[in-house]
Chain A
Amino acid sequence: MGAQTDSCGRLKGKVMKISKFLLIASFLISFIIFAQTAQGGPLYISPKTLYWWMEYGESFTLINANSYLECMDTQIPRSLCISCEQVEETKALLSREKSTKIVLYTNTDLTESRCPLIGGLMKQGYKEIFLLQGGLTNWKMAGYETVSPERIPRVLIPSIKVKDIEAWRKGVKKALIVDIRSWKDFNEEHLEGAVNFPLAFLHQKYQEIPMNCSLLIVDEDGSKSLIAASYLSRKGFQDIKRLGGGMMGWREFKGRYKSGVR
């Protein structure tokens, strides 16, 4: 009898130990999950989910955070054009209801560091911010519709190599390097003698660019200079070139030059 009581007691002790362990483990796990979800950062949304939201009349605001020119050139239907740099404009354009779902996208994936608009919206108290996975490129790859309210017909403007910038400068009467990246990127690093006309504001400020200059359009990776150059060409600028590979190409060239590879 005594032995039975002993073994019962041992079993109880074991059960208690396991229960305690499970309790602590579940507490820790739930704490980790809570800590991860409570960060409150924007969530990613797939093109498919966004498509179904649109199909089934889900209430949300869709923002194309590209520059105005790019947004008007191509966008997902029913998008608002508010570029990443236009943080203040959101106050006038968006609903004051802070629980409104907001979906943001650009051509590629968005991050808070690259798009001040995300941080701005969060500061204003918007809680449900979604970023389109892979951006417009992924949306198109998935085969969903885009619209072009004011397409900019492309002009086939040739680009020049980084190593040929000096030769280009010497070869034209009045050279002007137009850097279309954001002012933040421009301030961090830019080509010597470059002036900053962010693509987000180019449609408003292009008149400030002297018409009699030969222009070299510089962007981050060579992907946005064509649309800017095409726009300026339609606005009457005659001699335009693009920097092949943009600033990324320039950095790579600098790196290769330093390591002895020409």
Chain B
Amino acid sequence: MNYLLSTVTVIFALISPLVLGAEEVTCQSCHRETLNFQAFYGSVHGKIGCRSCHQKLGRIEVHLAGQDQAREVKCNQCHQNIALKYKRDVHNLKYNLACQDCHQPIHALKRTIGDISLASEGLCRRCHLSEYYALSGHGRLVEAGNPDAPTCIDCHGLHNVPIFDLSSERARAMARETYTRKCISCHSNVKIARRNKFSTQTVKGYFETYHGKVMKAGFPQQVAGCADCHTGHNILPKTSPTSAIHPDNLYGTCKSCHPVMHKRFIKFDPHPNPQDSGRSSSLYAANIFMAILLSGTFLFFWLHSLLWWRRSYYEKYREGKKFAPTTSEKIQIQRFSLRDRIMHFLLVISFFTLVLTGFPIKYPDASWARPLLIFWGGPHQAGLFHRGAALLLCVLFVYTCWLSYKFLFPQGKKEGWLKRLLGPDSLFPNLKDFKDIAGMFKWFFHRGEMPKFDRWTYWEKFDFMAVFWGMTVIGLSGFMLWFPGLFSYILPGWVINIAAIVHSEEAFLAAIFIFTVHFFNNHLVPTKFPLERNIFTGRYSIEAMKAERPLEYERMVAEGRLEAMKKEAPGIWTQLFASLFGLGSLILGLILTAFIFYALLS
């Protein structure tokens, strides 16, 4: 019956123009009931005719006989650029949506008038839940007609909406990075900020935190991006009760990443501004303090080094003064014990590890930051090495404290501890050191002789004492940053902000001080250039001792202890190791200094 009916229809369709004298068979003849041809003619494709899109349709007789169905239309024949982009769009890759699925009704499409992003927003809303977005700050601004307000396509793109398989950590990280960059592109734009009365400092502040620094270095896996705290679409000011950053909700928001934390933790400022006393007076004060500490220390010691270098250079090249060789004698003086040398070796290893793992996070913008983090296996692994090196340093610090205690109270003997503390064998500063400083400056300006030193010079004592200050400050702040949740049980969250700034600035102070001042005082000064090896070999020449520490020499002679200090010169392997390790450390330190200043200046 069906066959008969279709045959009659085909025959009628074919002969009807002849019999009835009507027009030839067109698409309208059959499809007018299902398709509004008036709307089609008025549509954007109205002038190009059916066959322009339905190209694969064969002869009309065959089509009428039902043997040649209209096949899939390839929009990409005309819309090549869009089709090319759409190939990687999530709607194509994951949901197999074709053009006509969104652009409905496909036969009555009108040209978009006005802002394309506003028009597309309506289209997205047909499928996607938009309730949160509509109520968000962004959504309301769009509704109010603000041209700066982001619509769907401003963040997600148009025809190139990226695909992120959120079951994989890598894809989640990529999504986090992509959308954080999107947020930042507008929120760091000064013009947009001025027009919409928000501050670009929010972005700058974010990049001052660990979250922002690691994100900037290109490792978004384990840090919070914008949407982690502000959510993807329900972006509301913190005054709104439904906002994820409302004080009532903030605890839950932070807890989703920091499971162990006290409610005090929410006082942490994720967008700190150390220059703004109104936002946080304690952070402001900490910043000022660190700035004074750093500038004061560097100003004094760099000036000291510069003047010392000029005076030594003058002596060496103008006056032709000969300096005592430190290594050539067969019998030498034991200055550092094996224990001291091992401790210094471990200190060097620990210090370099800390600098190499910490500074890429401090300067994530620097071109060397990312390769260095990749070398460690990413920021997470770098963090593990950083913590390992920090623990080693802590052990050395505790051991040094124990040795200091034993030095002051040998075999528990309390008498005379003050004398020992201020005596010539102590690393604690005494009155003579202040006189030596004044004497050194007189010598720098040719106003007197170079002061005579005993076992420890004032700059060596400063290096030693700085470790006590540095370890306390940098160690304590480091532990706070390591366990921010745990510390929130005893301290409010804003202390973490202070810890971050103190840790970072103190690290800068330590690294640059060691790589410039310590290196100069002990290795690069013309009298010792290029390397003083006795911290690695443990021994130096008697002549060098007489020249560098005449008071100690005289004291040892007077006390009859010099003979006991005499040892054979170190063996070839010890000397080779001392030269290679010492020179290697020196070069690495200077390279790192260049890296740090490059990052600072650029």
Q: Is B88 an interface residue (CB 8 A)?
A: yes
**Min C-beta distance of B363 to chain A, whole Å:** 35
Contacts known (A137-B163, A159-B129); A153 close to B100, Cβ less than 8 A: yes
Q: Is B574 an interface residue (CB 8 A)?
A: no
- A161 contacts B129, CB within 8 Å? yes
A122-140, CB under 8 A of B: which get 1 and which 0?
A: 0000000000000001001
Give the residues in chain B near A238, CB-CB below 8 Å: none
**Min C-beta distance of B83 to chain A, whole Å:** 12
Q: Is A1 an interface residue (CB 8 A)?
A: no
Contacts known (A261-B253, A262-B242); A141 close to B129, Cβ less than 8 A: no
- B94 contacts A223, CB within 8 Å? yes
The residue in chain A whose Cβ has the minimal distance to the Cβ of B168 is A109
**Min C-beta distance of A77 to chain B, whole Å:** 13
Give the residues in chain B near A73, CB-CB below 8 Å: 96
Partner of B72, one of A137, A151, A156, A158: A151
CA distance A16 to B242 in the complex (A): 76
Give the residues in chain A near B101, CB-CB below 8 Å: 153-154, 156
The residue in chain A whose Cβ has the minimal distance to the Cβ of B97 is A154
- B96 contacts A160, CB within 8 Å? no
The residue in chain A whose Cβ has the minimal distance to the Cβ of B88 is A141
- A151 contacts B242, CB within 8 Å? no
Q: Is B93 an interface residue (CB 8 A)?
A: yes
Give the residues in chain B near A5, CB-CB below 8 Å: none
Chain B contacts with A in 66-98, Cβ cutoff 8 A? 72, 87-88, 92-98
Q: Is B492 an interface residue (CB 8 A)?
A: no
Q: Is B255 an interface residue (CB 8 A)?
A: yes
**Min C-beta distance of A187 to chain B, whole Å:** 22
- A137 contacts B126, CB within 8 Å? no
- A151 contacts B129, CB within 8 Å? no
**Min C-beta distance of A157 to chain B, whole Å:** 7
- A261 contacts B249, CB within 8 Å? yes
CA distance A56 to B528 in the complex (A): 73
Partner of B95, one of A143, A223, A259, A261: A223
Contacts known (A154-B101, A161-B131); A259 close to B93, Cβ less than 8 A: no
Q: Is B256 an interface residue (CB 8 A)?
A: yes
CA distance A223 to B127 in the complex (A): 12
- B94 contacts A143, CB within 8 Å? no
**Min C-beta distance of B534 to chain A, whole Å:** 40
Chain B contacts with A in 100-125, Cβ cutoff 8 A? 100-102, 104
- B126 contacts A158, CB within 8 Å? yes
Interface of A is mostly: loop
The residue in chain A whose Cβ has the minimal distance to the Cβ of B130 is A158
**Min C-beta distance of B473 to chain A, whole Å:** 36
CA distance A256 to B255 in the complex (A): 11
Contacts known (A151-B72, A159-B127); A140 close to B92, Cβ less than 8 A: yes
- B127 contacts A157, CB within 8 Å? yes
Give the residues in chain B near A156, CB-CB below 8 Å: 101-102, 104, 126-127
CA distance A154 to B72 in the complex (A): 14
Chain B contacts with A in 139-168, Cβ cutoff 8 A? 163, 165
- B252 contacts A261, CB within 8 Å? yes
The residue in chain A whose Cβ has the minimal distance to the Cβ of B241 is A262
The residue in chain B whose Cβ has the minimal distance to the Cβ of A163 is B131
The residue in chain B whose Cβ has the minimal distance to the Cβ of A259 is B252
**Min C-beta distance of B231 to chain A, whole Å:** 10
- B127 contacts A158, CB within 8 Å? yes
CA distance A261 to B242 in the complex (A): 9
Contacts known (A74-B96, A153-B101, A156-B104); A244 close to B252, Cβ less than 8 A: no
The residue in chain B whose Cβ has the minimal distance to the Cβ of A137 is B93
CA distance A169 to B577 in the complex (A): 79
**Min C-beta distance of A148 to chain B, whole Å:** 6
**Residue among A137, A140, A261 having the largest count of chain B Cβ atoms under 10 Å:** A261
Q: Is A260 an interface residue (CB 8 A)?
A: yes
The residue in chain B whose Cβ has the minimal distance to the Cβ of A226 is B95
Give the residues in chain A near B100, CB-CB below 8 Å: 153
Give the residues in chain B near A158, CB-CB below 8 Å: 126-127, 129
Chain A contacts with B in 202-227, Cβ cutoff 8 A? 223, 226-227
Q: Is B513 an interface residue (CB 8 A)?
A: no
- A143 contacts B87, CB within 8 Å? yes
Give the residues in chain A near B127, CB-CB below 8 Å: 156-159, 226
The residue in chain A whose Cβ has the minimal distance to the Cβ of B106 is A153
Give the residues in chain B near A74, CB-CB below 8 Å: 96
CA distance A262 to B101 in the complex (A): 34
Give the residues in chain A near B131, CB-CB below 8 Å: 161
CA distance A143 to B83 in the complex (A): 12
Q: Is A107 an interface residue (CB 8 A)?
A: yes
Q: Is B251 an interface residue (CB 8 A)?
A: yes
Give the residues in chain B near A244, CB-CB below 8 Å: 128-129
CA distance A223 to B165 in the complex (A): 11
Q: Is A108 an interface residue (CB 8 A)?
A: yes
CA distance A199 to B364 in the complex (A): 48
The residue in chain B whose Cβ has the minimal distance to the Cβ of A146 is B96
CA distance A158 to B123 in the complex (A): 11
CA distance A202 to B128 in the complex (A): 24
- A261 contacts B244, CB within 8 Å? yes
**Min C-beta distance of B250 to chain A, whole Å:** 10
- A141 contacts B252, CB within 8 Å? no
Chain A contacts with B in 47-95, Cβ cutoff 8 A? 70, 73-74
**Min C-beta distance of B193 to chain A, whole Å:** 29
Partner of A259, one of B98, B126, B129, B255: B255
Contacts known (A148-B72, A259-B256); A159 close to B128, Cβ less than 8 A: yes
Give the residues in chain B near A143, CB-CB below 8 Å: 87
A246-262, CB under 8 A of B: which get 1 and which 0?
A: 00000000001001111
CA distance A119 to B128 in the complex (A): 37
Give the residues in chain B near A154, CB-CB below 8 Å: 97-98, 101
CA distance A227 to B251 in the complex (A): 39
**Min C-beta distance of A107 to chain B, whole Å:** 7
CA distance A143 to B88 in the complex (A): 9
**Min C-beta distance of A241 to chain B, whole Å:** 11
A88-118, CB under 8 A of B: which get 1 and which 0?
A: 0000000000000000000110000000000
- A137 contacts B129, CB within 8 Å? no
**Min C-beta distance of B469 to chain A, whole Å:** 42
B554-567, CB under 8 A of A: which get 1 and which 0?
A: 00000000000000
- B253 contacts A140, CB within 8 Å? no
B235-259, CB under 8 A of A: which get 1 and which 0?
A: 0000000101000010111011000
**Min C-beta distance of A66 to chain B, whole Å:** 10
The residue in chain B whose Cβ has the minimal distance to the Cβ of A249 is B129
**Min C-beta distance of A261 to chain B, whole Å:** 3
Across the A-B interface, the 8 shortest Cβ-Cβ residue pairs: A261-B252, A154-B101, A156-B126, A74-B96, A244-B129, A260-B252, A137-B93, A140-B93
Could you name 29 residue pairs across A and B whose Cβ atoms are closer than 8 Å? A70-B96, A137-B94, A137-B165, A140-B93, A141-B87, A141-B88, A141-B163, A143-B87, A151-B98, A153-B98, A154-B101, A156-B104, A156-B126, A156-B127, A158-B129, A159-B128, A159-B129, A161-B129, A161-B131, A223-B95, A256-B252, A259-B255, A260-B249, A260-B251, A260-B252, A261-B244, A261-B252, A261-B253, A262-B242
A154-B97, A261-B252, A261-B256 known; 15 other A-B pairs, CB under 8 Å? A70-B96, A107-B94, A137-B163, A137-B165, A141-B163, A151-B98, A153-B100, A156-B101, A156-B126, A158-B127, A160-B129, A161-B129, A223-B94, A226-B127, A260-B249
